[in-house]
């Protein structure tokens, strides 16, 4: 590993491009043989085999269970990722939170008490680690417990699902504490600015419509506490950033000029949930504007570049698989509300593309996992299989199965 002093000197005396090259070479030297084999396979191109939505849901569900079992330590939360270089990570509170509704849904669909028990383990752990003010920390467990808006919102999705579906007073109490904190720390214009994550660049974040959605869910569970009004206030603030070409400004963790499809997927989901809650046609029109911008970026085989610019041009040569399945799910909702077959066609392409990246036999740490990027060395979750990627793939493929059975 490059020593700290060496890094400091390099930053002072070499152009940034040279520093970046050195870092890439250092990272390359640290790669396991396993990671190199997967990368080589990916660079040969996308596989031709599509296992289909039912099989994709099956293997990804097993992978999420494994991620819960192999989190270090085993505490009820879901490991953030499996790395081809370092193995299983500690549990990740944020994404464990919104994995809960998916696991509860799977338990209901399959009458599976094991999955229901797993959802309870996740929720019990989330109740245990809630901060005194009702908020939740950023990052994996073990990081400094700093209260953060976005992470609290994602966990609120799980607490609301638990309060509604598992009838446990502790989940309802934790839900209120999280929702109250979000409502009370919001700025007057609807934006959250006070408790930003330390893992993102400073600045306003329109993708926090995904936090707003969590407040709408809390309102459904327990009306009359101002949660719904708070959520809708943020969504309307975010739409003040919508451009005529469907571009939504300030919608990325670190690069608002070239946002990830992942954060665009978050933002679009929140707007659609605002429409589901209000049936306000203005919100559906806004969602279609964003969707139309994204639609023009999707290739015939379902490939969607992982970052896009404000003119809806590809900004990178890799795919953010998480973003692809999030957008697929959003498009299936747009299809349901508009009956425009364009949305259905594009969603099925996106889902099929991601399924073609899946490993369905061999190493159990990889079977059913969804990589951060394709190829696997792309600059999002490089060489990692991410728990939220598997969750969103399950969600979008369940929607596809529901559509096929209708």
Given this model, what pLDDT does residue 176 score?
98
303-361 pLDDT per residue, tens: 999 999 999 999 999 999 999 999 999 999 999 999 999 999 999 999 999 999 999 99
Which long-range contacts does 277-280 make (Cβ < 8 Å, 24+ apart)? Answer: 277/216, 277/219, 277/228, 277/231, 277/232, 278/232
Given this model, what pLDDT does residue 261 score?
98
Task: Tell me if residue 79 falls in helix, strand or coil.
Answer: strand
Return the DSSP state at 296.
T
| pLDDT-based confidence at residue 39 (cuts at 50, 70, 90) | very high
Given this model, what pLDDT does residue 164 score?
96
- Is the CB of residue 22 less than 8 Å from the CB of residue 30? no
Smallest Cα–Cα separation from 182: which of 144, 150, 139?
A: 150
Given this model, what pLDDT does residue 30 score?
81
229-254 pLDDT per residue, tens: 999 999 999 999 999 999 999 999 99
Alpha-carbon distance of 395 to 229, in angstroms, equals 27
- Which of the residue ranges 39-48, 100-109, 209-218 would you say has the lowest mean pLDDT? 39-48
- Is the CB of residue 345 less than 8 Å from the CB of residue 37? no
The length of the chain is: 406
**Is the pLDDT score of 214 beyond 90?**
yes
Alpha-carbon distance of 156 to 101, in angstroms, equals 10
**Is the pLDDT score of 14 beyond 80?**
no
Alpha-carbon distance of 245 to 226, in angstroms, equals 33
- Is the CB of residue 367 less than 8 Å from the CB of residue 360? yes
Given this model, what pLDDT does residue 9 score?
45
156-209 pLDDT per residue, tens: 999 999 999 998 999 999 999 999 999 999 999 999 999 999 999 999 999 999
Residue 34, phi then psi, degrees to nearest 5: -60, -45
Percent of the chain with pLDDT over 90: 89
Alpha-carbon distance of 73 to 375, in angstroms, equals 30
Enumerate the H helices of 258-370 as residue ranges: 261-278, 281-295, 321-338, 341-355
Token digits of residue 151: 């992470």
The mean pLDDT value for 282-302 works out to: 98
**Is the pLDDT score of 61 beyond 60?**
yes
Alpha-carbon distance of 119 to 127, in angstroms, equals 12
| pLDDT-based confidence at residue 10 (cuts at 50, 70, 90) | very low
> Quick one: CA torsion of 99, 91, 202, 236, rounded to 10 degrees?
20
**Is the pLDDT score of 16 beyond 70?**
no
| pTM tops 0.95, yes or no | no
Alpha-carbon distance of 64 to 81, in angstroms, equals 10
**Is the pLDDT score of 24 beyond 70?**
no
Smallest Cα–Cα separation from 362: which of 37, 98, 88?
A: 37
147, containing H or E segment: strand 147-148
123-145 pLDDT per residue, tens: 999 999 999 999 999 999 988 89
DSSP string for 371-399: BSEESTTSSSSTTEEEHHHHHHHHHHHHH
By CB atoms closer than 10 A (0-12, 13-18, 19+), residue 18 is exposed
**Is the pLDDT score of 99 beyond 60?**
yes
| pLDDT-based confidence at residue 22 (cuts at 50, 70, 90) | low
Alpha-carbon distance of 75 to 112, in angstroms, equals 21
Q: Provide, for the chain, the percentages of residues in helix, strand and coil under a 3-state DSSP scheme, each rounded to the nearest 5.
A: 60, 5, 35
């Amino acid at each position: 590993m490059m020593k700290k002093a060496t890094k400091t000197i390099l930053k002072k005396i070499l152009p940034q491009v040279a520093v970046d090259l050195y870092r890439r070479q250092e990272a390359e030297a640290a790669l396991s043989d396993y990671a190199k084999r997967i990368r080589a396979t990916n660079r040969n191109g996308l596989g031709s085999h599509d296992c289909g939505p039912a099989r994709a849901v099956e293997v990804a569900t097993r992978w999420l269970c494994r991620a819960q079992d192999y989190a270090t330590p085993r505490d009820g939360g879901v490991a953030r990722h499996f790395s081809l270089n370092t193995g299983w990570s500690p549990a990740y509170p944020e994404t464990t939170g919104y994995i809960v509704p998916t696991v509860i849904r799977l338990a209901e669909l399959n009458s599976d008490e094991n999955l229901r028990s797993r959802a309870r383990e996740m929720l019990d752990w989330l109740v245990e680690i809630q901060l005194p003010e009702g908020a939740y920390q950023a990052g994996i467990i073990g990081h400094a417990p700093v209260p953060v808006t976005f992470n609290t919102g994602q966990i609120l999705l799980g607490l609301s699902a638990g309060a509604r579906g598992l009838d446990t007073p502790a989940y309802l109490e934790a839900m209120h504490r999280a929702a109250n904190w979000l409502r009370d720390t919001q700025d007057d214009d609807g934006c959250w600015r006070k408790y930003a994550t330390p893992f993102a660049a400073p600045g306003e974040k329109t993708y926090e419509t995904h936090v707003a959605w969590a407040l709408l869910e809390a309102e459904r569970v327990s009306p009359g506490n101002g949660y719904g009004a708070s959520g809708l206030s943020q969504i309307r603030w975010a739409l003040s950033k919508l451009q005529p070409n469907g571009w939504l400004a300030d919608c990325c963790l670190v690069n608002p000029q070239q946002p990830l499809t992942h954060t665009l997927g978050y933002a679009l989901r929140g707007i659609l949930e605002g429409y589901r809650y209000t049936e306000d046609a203005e919100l559906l029109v806004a969602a279609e504007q964003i969707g139309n911008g994204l639609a023009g970026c999707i290739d015939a085989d379902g490939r969607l570049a992982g970052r896009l610019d404000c003119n809806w041009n590809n900004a990178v040569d890799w795919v953010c698989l998480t973003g692809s399945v999030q957008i697929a799910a959003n498009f299936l909702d747009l299809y349901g509300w508009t009956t425009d077959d364009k949305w259905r066609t594009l969603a099925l392409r996106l889902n099929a593309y991601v399924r073609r990246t899946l490993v369905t036999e061999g190493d159990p740490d990889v079977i059913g996992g969804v990589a951060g990027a394709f190829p696997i060395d792309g600059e999002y979750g490089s060489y990692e299989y991410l728990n939220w990627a598997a969750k969103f793939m399950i969600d979008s493929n369940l929607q596809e199965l529901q559509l096929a059975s209708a």
